Structure 1
Amino acid sequence: MEKIVGTNLGNWLVLEKWMSPFIFDGTDAEDETWLARMLPPDELDRRMKKHRDTYISEEDFANIASHGMNLVRIPVPYFIFGDRPPFSGCIEYLDRALEWAQKYNLKVLIDLHTVHGSQNGYDNGGLTGVCKWYKNNEEVRFALSVLERLAERYARQPALYGIEVLNEPISFSVYMTAPSTGKARDTEEAKGSGYVPMSFLKSFYEEAYHILRKYLGEDKAVVFHDGFRLGRWGGFFKKKGMKNVVLDTHIYIFAMENFVPFHAKWVYRLYMTINARQLKRAGRHIPVIVGEWCIANRWAQKFLNNPEAEEQCRRAYREVAEIQKYVWNQTAGHIYWNYQLYRDKGKPFDEVWKNGWDLSRCLKNGWISF
């Protein structure tokens, strides 16, 4: 396939509260698991159906293709097949997405984004502050069964690019510094949480690969997240005889800014130079994609909501976009997070920093182009 230029369709089949907080109205739930626990089943089904029916449409696939992108990455939950109550399944929406993608000449990367017990303790893992999925063999086997059923269902679908085995299994260093660590709503439930060891991850990835390859021809990619350990994979995949595999890494300027006291273009250039070296080193062994990134940054953000600084704002976002794209274009491709936050694109965000995460608005504002 040509170099990937795509966008994520996050918050559609896997909820993230910060992206659409109004779905959580009437509860103080911070993640999808607690939303399901707090709402009566009928109300949960009603909200989820309304959201899934309206959040992404065929029109969005046409719009994505019109901007020169060639792929969508679709995060899916472990309960996608509807066999883990109280959650309602959503496989029919993925069916629809593959059909729309084929119609508009887009490829689809299916991404298993959550597992029961969570692989990272983030809200995007479904359960904030809890990270102990890998310790539960029954749930590990269940995750593999979900991957197998997805592969069997879509193996002959022309629009399928591949399947990503698991999103963001967390490393020791990231787990120790993550803001969600230690923030579980139920401290008893969180007991035993910790980072996902490299030894487990390698074993899980190898088994997942062989399960997927039972159904997927070698024209379909098997994608592995680096587990926030881009430099530690070396020739692992090649040594294991894996073919058409891709390593996914997620790089955010916005996250880097949490550890740096100043926000300026030269800082971002330095950060990108460091990342470029790491990406090049990893790319010697396996094709690498930047599966999540965005142009959100505090330098450009300071010009937002100031009519007199509109041009400065546009220029700052465009420069940050170009700095990143220059590096990403030296890899096998990149996928923006996220296509949109609010479905209503005219509705102002509750917090100004969200603007740079919404690709639809960034394109409309002329902050980025592909």
Structure 2
Amino acid sequence: MPNQGTVPPRACLRGVNLGGWLLLEKWMTPSLFQGLAAADETTWCAELGGDAPARLRAHWTHFITREDFAWLKEVGINAVRIPLGHWIFGPPYPYHAAYGTAPHPFVEGGIDILDRALDWAEAHGLRVILDLHAAPGCQNGFDNGGIRDVCEWHTREEYLDHSVAVLGRIAERYRSASALYGIELLNEPQTLIPTDLLKRYYLRAYDAIRKHCPPQKVAIVFHDGFRSHREYLGFMQPPDYENVLFDVHRYQCFEESEIEMDIHGHLNLAGNLRRKDAGTIQQELGLPTIVGEWSLGFDPEFVSLWPGPFDHALRNMDTFQTEIAYRAYASAQLLAFEHYHGWFFWSYRTERTPEWCFRECVARGWLPSRFQ
């Protein structure tokens, strides 16, 4: 169990997210969305209807395999974070207007793939954080929350209740899985959700998980919700709450000030300011903290969250300089994130965005070939 209230001398978890697998994001796997109006997994399933199961099950089978877990272990990665949708167990789940005429549009069978993933992780000595990435009604308005441009999770009690129930079922199902390291209560809830409401939900979810998973076996992870860690001072503290991790996501491509930076500004932010943050957050909050997501992306065009212009960091660079810039940016971030309890690159595989694809970053030499 992590030693709460202290800053670890080096990262305990060196991990990768398995995004785009059990929860679709259009920018990560555009081939699945070709010819469709759908912008997220909800509308993808609703639009395809009866054709969705065969397509999605083929994706589940081929996008991430046992060989990928073996490769991660070989290069020294010791953990994976697996994003999930609230529909992972199948119906029933709350209805949303985005479903259209189908009360239960989501493809069933994802839980069987998750079972397999936990077995693969155990076989290869990888630790797993299971992450409720998409909640009913969507908690952030992003495609990764299940319904793009909708943020209604906090507006209906049945959405909150279902989220807690799903986390309890996950804890009950995997309580004996030796690979299970932690369960994350909710990914990236938006700032428009009141902090007090979010805290109440986190406490309910903690209790639901602890009914099945004791603190000496499973960590409970909560995200900052895009707000200062100081809003959580005194929250979920021992001895009443044990083995709790705080999650921050560290991208440098979604704020206008960051998009305008040159490469040297990015290196200073990543390697200097973010390193200092690691000590400040963990000392003031009294909780071990992970960087649950980060990447080498400077350009938000592909994730469709910024209208442009793009790539200021790499402007006017030739090929050699660009390669050096990516390596320097990766190294600066890794050195900073080693001061946290752990980190997870986003993501393991994408179809056309190498800066966000762990396999491609390693192959190109932007990231190290070994992580031990």
Shift of 1:24: 1.2
- 1:151 and 1:327 map into 2 onto residues whose CA distance is 32
- 1:328 and 1:221 map into 2 onto residues whose CA distance is 19
Alignment length, in residue pairs? 332
Structure 2 matches for 1:211-360, cutoff 5 A?
211-218=208-215, 219-231=217-229, 232-238=231-237, 241-256=240-255, 259-270=258-269, 272-284=271-283, 285-297=286-298, 298=311, 301=314, 309-342=318-351, 349=352, 354-360=353-359
The residue identity in structure 2 corresponding to 1:243 is E
2:80 pairs, out of 68, 72, 76, with 72
Q: Which digits, 9 at most, give the CA deviation of each residue in 1:279-324, with x for residues without a partner? A: 32220210000000011233675589xxxx4433322111001111
Match for residue 176 of structure 1? none
Q: Which digits, 9 at most, give the CA deviation of each residue in 1:324-345, with x for residues without a partner? A: 1111011101000000112xxx
Match for residue 54 of structure 1? 62
- Please tell me whether the aligned partners of residues 270 and 336 of structure 2 are also in contact (alpha carbons under 8 angstroms): no
- 2:114 and 2:36 map into 1 onto residues whose CA distance is 28
Shift of 1:273: 3.0
Alignment RMSD (CA, Å)? 1.8
Distance 1:260 1:367, change over 3 A: closer
- 2:181 and 2:330 map into 1 onto residues whose CA distance is 25
The residue identity in structure 1 corresponding to 2:252 is I
Unaligned 5+ runs, structure 2: 2-10, 94-103, 299-310
Shift of 1:29: 1.2
- 1:13 and 1:301 map into 2 onto residues whose CA distance is 33
What SS does the aligned partner of 1:7 have?
strand
Shift of 1:355: 1.7
Match for residue 39 of structure 1? 48
Percent of aligned positions that are identical: 38
Unaligned 5+ runs, structure 1: 172-194, 343-348
Shift of 1:262: 3.1
- 2:254 and 2:335 map into 1 onto residues whose CA distance is 19
Using the TM superposition, name which of 1-10 and 43-52 deviates more: 1-10
What SS does the aligned partner of 2:14 have?
strand
Match for residue 201 of structure 1? 198
- 1:228 and 1:149 map into 2 onto residues whose CA distance is 27
- Please tell me whether the aligned partners of residues 265 and 320 of structure 1 are also in contact (alpha carbons under 8 angstroms): no
Shift of 1:264: 1.9
Shift of 1:267: 3.8
Distance 1:159 1:267, change over 3 A: closer
Match for residue 120 of structure 2? 100
Match for residue 88 of structure 1? 107
Q: Which digits, 9 at most, give the CA deviation of each residue in 1:202-261, with x for residues without a partner? A: 101011111101100212100101111242212211168210000011010222466542
- 1:54 and 1:270 map into 2 onto residues whose CA distance is 37
Match for residue 187 of structure 1? none
- 1:80 and 1:240 map into 2 onto residues whose CA distance is 32
- 2:20 and 2:150 map into 1 onto residues whose CA distance is 20
Using the TM superposition, name which of 72-81 and 280-289 deviates more: 280-289
- 2:314 and 2:223 map into 1 onto residues whose CA distance is 29
The residue identity in structure 2 corresponding to 1:87 is F
What SS does the aligned partner of 2:182 have?
strand
Shift of 1:166: 0.5
The residue identity in structure 2 corresponding to 1:321 is A
**Alignment TM-score, normalising by the size of structure 2:** 0.85
- 1:14 and 1:201 map into 2 onto residues whose CA distance is 23
The structure, 1 or 2, with the larger RCO (C-alpha pairs under 8 Å, 6+ apart) is 2
Match for residue 28 of structure 2? 19
Distance 1:239 1:103, change over 3 A: closer
The residue identity in structure 2 corresponding to 1:80 is I
